[in-house]
Structure 1
Amino acid sequence: GENEGENEGEMSMRLVFGDWGFESGGFENLLKKPAFAAVTAVEGFLAAAEKILDEAEFLSQAAPVQQLLLRPFGEIGEHDQLLVDQHLDQVLDDPGQGKVRPHPLVVGDDGGDVGMDEGHQGRIVGRHLVGALHRFGIDGQNLSLGVLAHEGHRCGLPNGCGVNDIINRRLKGWLTKIPNFAKHVVVAALVVIPLGGCQGPALPAPGQNITEVRAYEAPPPVGVDALIRKHGLFGARVGYALLDLESGDPLAGRNENALFIPASTAKVPTTVAALGILGADYRFRTRVLVTGKVAQGDNEGVLGGDLYLQGGGDPLLTIQDLMGLARRLKDQGVSGVSGKFFYDQSLLRTFAEIEARQPENARYNPGLSALSLDFNQTLLNWRPTLEPGGEKGVVRAYQTPTLGDARPGLSAADPGRGRNVVPGVAPGDEIRWLLSPSAPVEGAEFLPVKRPGLRTARVFRRLARMLGVTLPEPRAGTAPRNASPMAGIRGLALADVVRLALEHSNNMVTELIGQVAARHLEGEAGDLSRGSELLGGWLRKRLPDTDWDGFRLTNHSGLSSKARVNPKQMAAIVRFAVHRRHGGGDYLSLLPASGLRDSMRRRFRDPATALRIWAKTGTLKYAKGLVGVFFAASGRPVAFALFVTDFDLRRAYDAAANVQSPEIAAPAEDWIRRAEAFEQDLLREWILGI
């Protein structure tokens, strides 16, 4: 799915400094001293974190009343596995690494807005910590800070103190971009102050001992309306349909005929139809075709004609597959070609992106081609110049791998916060990636490949040359009917591809599956909307008793806010799919299961829900879905479809000029977090109550 971020909460923060000894007169004095860089939500102090200084100083103890001292970073989050843990543990345990200040200065809350003492000046501290982090290039996807202040209170955003699951991921990516990181420590003392006057429980003191361990106990059921209020989903439409998996009898419903944005749950109808159309054992083929013979004698090893790398729409084609094809050429005595090298992607329509309304730099929105490789993503890297006396602000940038792509450049204008890299145009209509002037001076971002066929052919050419087979620069072309196959490779069985597509929710993989299935039905390559219509028609014929009014998918992956489904339709599709057999198994065995690894976006791990839910998630900003089967505690299997969509907020989001800016992205990601918590609570109640 879109997966643009999650887990952010509304809060007010206070940064507390120790007795740093800087003179009064403003934070600018701090920048002149070898003190430390703080991650902070102070509006006037945002630039300080980019100036990491040589000597680290930090608080040796926590200040009173709900203060969070970030130490060591190994305690930040169990899933982050930060590379900085070891270094920070060493620094924090060794006073010789920095100058310890044993008497932190704590500023009171003044009975209202939190103030920070900076000499005679007062500055209001507030806003989202998330917004500040975005300015440093942290996107909030996998970072959690300290202890969650209101985990037990659960008062939710409407009351102003929803602080649980605040920020999640990517701290590592930011910290490790700091030059000479081993010299620096990022330390801040944070006080969480709930907005709206809500008072939560006091935080436990650092190092507090566990005194008792009790068995898990599920929270008592409160009903869907109470859960909607609890998670602050006011204004959102909530709908679901629950069917007995065996009989098809309805068990529960709410807005079951109303339309919702399906997001990545659209991958379910796409893959169900594709399995029925192509068969579970269908395999995608990638071939090398030639129009001549390999010469002997004076030109020994030279192919006297053209060579074609022909794509069969394999969504999981790997660089190892291409190396195998190149090796087969070498083994057949080919050392070069006298003609041209073509890449043939004519089986399917090519697209520069899946959804034009999505950001052009989003890795989940790549180009599509019958000849695709490595999920059609590329990695852009940039680093400061390393030469002594190098110019400030000058970076060196390159793509991985570098294959004759247009050299990265600098954007003439700042594209806005949250957008470090934007596309430009190079000669030959190739994409040239441009760095924002305000991007961090060191970083790396995965970006979508806009011309996947050309990139795949260039990778093949590089691999062939490594084996001693010289090919000219590739160009697009269609193999003639008289071309002879010289080498080929078959991909995984479709059932295995579908399982991986559903587990990882990869848009490109699902789009290619849908395109190939649609071509099989119509006999020619069409656009994504037409392909989705064909697959939907296939489902309609097999579920004639289902009311299909309003059902519309604009592509195969669900990467669109214009798609519409209702819960009853999706629950019927699931029930239909589970009763069919694919390669000895059923569709249920292809769905992600709760309670293992990181499935279901790290939810449904408690004893009441683990292993009981087999479903596909769907995530767009202001649109959530979960579709599949759950096994109730009573033993009853239930086909279900659950959707939450806030259409007003989504329309405003779509109309925004820069959806990647913190001001737009942060509240949308917080909405996703609350909708996911709602899904988890509601599924638990269903499982225990049916």
Structure 2
Amino acid sequence: MTFTRRWLLGALLAGVATPALAEAPTRSPRPLRRGGAAAPPDASDLVARAALGGAVAYVAVDAATGEVIEASNAALRLPPASTAKAITALYALDRLGPDFRFTTRLLATGPIENGIIQGDLVLAGSGDPTLSTDALGDMAAKLKAAGVRGVTGRYVAEAGALPAISAIDPEQPAHVGYNPALSGLNLNFNRVHFEWKRAPKGYAVTMDARAERFVPPVAMARMEVVTRDLPVYTYMGGQGSDSWTVASSALGKAGSRWLPVRHPETYTAEVFQTLARAQGIDLPAAQVVRVRPEGRTLVEWQSEPLREILRDMLKYSTNITAEAVGLAASGEASLAQSARAMSLWANGSFGISAEFRDHSGLGGRSRVSAADMASALAQAERRGLGLRPILKTLEIGGAKGRRKPGQPVTVAAKTGTLNFVSGLVGIASPSGGRDLVFAIYCADRTRRDALTMDDRERPPGMPEWTARARGLQRSLIERWAALPA
């Protein structure tokens, strides 16, 4: 399970706020030089040099005491992007526990006689965002080992564990793989693999649910190559089906990409039916339901513990994982209600005033200030809530790649990127210095709001803007590491 899940991920491209932080100044005073050492660059100079436009907000605090080291626009509420996943991780750990596991089951509603279930076979989901085709293949093999060859009744796909959500953020382009649907049955992060090759007449295309060991074809997602320039993709959803077209001028000789799945319960059910057939198990077309039939468990598949799921979520920034664990933690009937429940939990637990519209940060309407995010992380750190060990770690500064060696800083952090929005939050540990909790947000909302839907996947100027924002974030952390304690 572990290796397959990581392979799939690789394919993706209680208390109150610390008073000192809650009352953080709009700008911090210029720090004093260390004895005999050159003062680090002034923060305002670093911001001006980045030339990002819009707003830059940041705060750095002593992790042990909550003392504000430096801050600017700390109370300004900006989109958190994927840094929201840090709060989602804390929320899920609190509500579900670090050892929680998602479980997918195969149930029989009647006895097995001569290899035939006298009743229905139920594929029962729990909302597992990490379920893979390889896991379904192993479940089919176990079903065969249990002596099952067919059913007298129905093949049922039960998807009621989570609400049915057609897309995380409706303001994203239809074809981007990081904005899939969700349900109680999810598979391969709810993406389908589209591959094309130029043929003597047009293109040969395939749609499949590939993992590492199994590559079953998929019929519920269809692709047609159309002679045109724009739009590159169009989408039309049917009853349990996804119909796509793609512009021939965009394809070239050959290639592939992952597309989102909008009917994940149908997708999962079809893939299991195909894998079961390969094991000699004959199943009829699936019937999707949202209420689980009573039955005896024949096979079950468990995810890794929640702590490991969250570690991968924070490393790879998988949106579907954030939404699934957030929805599982809240038990609410919609994404909006679930995000509201998480906001109330965060605000009550840490004495902050954040507003989350989802659990992943994919939508641009969530709002949090640098002061509030840093306060939440600082309190979580002092309470030992277990976030730092699952954050992605990196080292900045030091001699590597620098003409003048600086002070190495180990950083456990979560990044966040939307169009013309960039965030970095976490804990910085300078070599030989004090631990710092920080939050940095950069956002040019005017430029972001002006984008057309066609520009939102690859906006002009976005790579350069993001590179400058990340450079500023790195420079600020290096500056804070160099300040006197």
TM-score category of the 2 structures, normalised to the smaller one: 0.7 to 0.9
Residue by residue over 1:559-579, the C-alpha shift from the partner in whole angstroms, topping out at 9 and shown as x without a partner, is: 011111001110111112223
Aligned to 1:341: 155
Equivalent residue for 2:337?
A: 530
Residues 609/375 of structure 1: CA separation in 2 closer, same or farther (3 Å cut): farther
Rounded Cα–Cα distance in structure 1 between residues aligned with 2:54 and 2:203: 45
Matched, 1:404 2:219: yes
Q: Is 1:437 paired with 2:248?
A: yes
Q: 2:312 aligns with which of 469, 493, 500?
A: 500
Distance in 2, Cα, partners of 1:630 & 1:369: 37
Q: Deviations over 1:612-642 (max 9, x none)?
A: 1111000011111011100134420111111
Partner of 1:311: 125
CA contact (8 A) 2:112 2:118 kept: yes
1:628-647 map, 5 Å: 628-647=426-445
Q: For residues 605 and 482 of structure 1, what CA distance do their matches in structure 2 show?
A: 62
Q: Secondary structure at the match of 1:594?
A: strand
2-side partners of 1:275 and 1:628: how far apart? 17
Given candidates 396, 417, 435, the residue that maps to 1:619 is 417
Alpha-carbon distance change, 286 to 644 in structure 1, aligned in 2, over 3 angstroms: same
Equivalent in 582, 585, 588 of residue 388 of structure 2: 588
Where 2:111 maps in the other structure, the secondary structure is coil
Secondary structure (helix, strand or coil) at the match of 2:131 reads coil
Q: 1:478 offset after TM fit, Å?
A: 3.8
Q: 1:287 to 1:541 in 2, by over 3 A?
A: same
2:198 aligns with 384
Question: Percent identity of the aligned residues?
Answer: 29
Distance 1:610 1:451 in 2: 48
CA shift, 1:689, in A, is: 2.0
Choose 482-491 or 586-595, whichever is displaced more.
482-491
Q: Distance in 1 between matches of 2:38 and 2:272?
A: 56
- Alignment partner, residue 120 of structure 1: none
Q: Secondary structure at the match of 1:269?
A: helix
Q: What whole-Å deviation, never above 9, does each CA across 1:548-600 have from its counterpart, x for those lacking one?
A: 1xx21110000011111001110111112223446xxx21111000149xxxx
2:106 is paired with a residue of what secondary structure?
Answer: strand
Alignment gaps of 5+ in structure 1 = 1-141, 143-217, 520-524, 597-603
Deviation per CA, 1:152-200: give whole Å up to 9, x if none.
xxxxxxxxxxxxxxxxxxxxxxxxxxxxxxxxxxxxxxxxxxxxxxxxx
Pick from 61, 65, 76 the counterpart of residue 247 of structure 1: 65
**1:552 aligned to 2:355?**
yes
Summarize the Cα distance change of 1:261–1:432 in structure 2 as closer, same or farther, 3 Å threshold: same
Inter-partner Cα distance in structure 1 for 2:432 and 2:457: 47
TM-score after normalising by structure 2: 0.85
The residue correspondences of 1:321-400 to structure 2 (distance < 5 A) are 321-385=135-199, 390-391=200-201, 394-400=202-208
Matched to 2:205, the amino acid is A
Once residues 397 and 512 of structure 1 are traced to their aligned partners in structure 2, the CA distance between those partners, rounded to angstroms, is 31
Task: Return closer, same or farther for 1:405/1:220 CA change in 2, 3 Å cut-off.
Answer: farther
Q: Who is 1:55 aligned against?
A: none
Q: Residue 362 of structure 1: SS of its match in structure 2? A: coil
Distance 1:429 1:278, change over 3 A: closer
User: Paired residue for 2:43?
Assistant: 224
CA drift of 1:220 comes to 7.2
Residue 349 of structure 2 aligns with which residue?
542
Query: Counterpart of 1:668?
Result: 462
> Pairwise mapping of residues 37-76 of structure 1 onto structure 2 (< 5 A)?
none
Question: Could you tell me how far 1:219 is from its partner in structure 2?
Answer: 10
Q: For residues 343 and 220 of structure 1, do their structure 2 counterparts lie closer, same or farther at Cα, with a shift above 3 Å needed?
A: farther
Q: Which has the larger radius of gyration?
A: 1
| Contact 2:342/2:356 (<8 A) preserved | no
> In 2, distance between residues paired with 1:671 and 1:609?
26
Give the match for residue 568 of structure 1: 371
Compare the two structures and name the one with the higher strand fraction: 2
Is structure 2 residue 90 aligned with structure 1 residue 272?
yes
Distance 1:481 1:622, change over 3 A: same
Residues of 2 paired with 1:288 and 1:493: CA distance? 20
Q: Distance between the aligned counterparts of 1:231 and 1:248, measured in 2?
A: 28
With a CA cutoff of 8 Å and minimum separation of 6, indicate the structure with the bigger relative contact order.
Answer: 2
Alpha-carbon distance in 1 for matches of 2:478, 2:171: 35
Specify whether residues 284 and 581 from structure 1 end up closer, same or farther in structure 2 by C-alpha distance, changes over 3 A only: farther
**Any idea what the Cα deviations from partners look like across 1:291-324, whole Å, max 9, x if unmatched?**
11111xxxx2111111111111212112232223
- RMSD, matched Cα: 2.3
Query: Does residue 281 of structure 2 align to residue 463 of structure 1?
Result: no
Q: What's the offset of the Cα at 1:429? A: 5.3
Cα deviation digits, residues 413-468 of structure 1 (max 9, x gap): 5434xx3x33234x535211211132133321211111111111111111111111
Q: Deviations over 1:395-422 (max 9, x none)?
A: 1111124222353113475434xx3x33
Residue 484 (structure 2) pairs with residue 684 (structure 1): no
User: Contact 2:124–2:157 at 8 Å: present in 1 too?
Assistant: yes
**Partner residue of 1:522?**
none
After superposition, the Cα gap between the structure-2 partners of 1:595 and 1:422, relative to the gap in structure 1 and judged at 3 Å, is farther
8 Å CA contact retained: 1:289, 1:479: no
SS of the equivalent of 1:593 reads: strand
Ranges in structure 2 where 5+ consecutive residues have no aligned partner: 1-12, 14-36, 210-216
Deviations 1:336-366 (A, max 9, x none): 0111111111011111211000011001111
- Asked whether the equivalents of residues 410 and 435 of structure 1 are also in contact (C-alpha less than 8 Å), the reply is yes
Q: Distance in 2 between matches of 1:228 and 1:219?
A: 19
Give 2:31's aligned residue: none
Aligned length: 436
- Given candidates 266, 281, 289, the residue that maps to 1:454 is 266
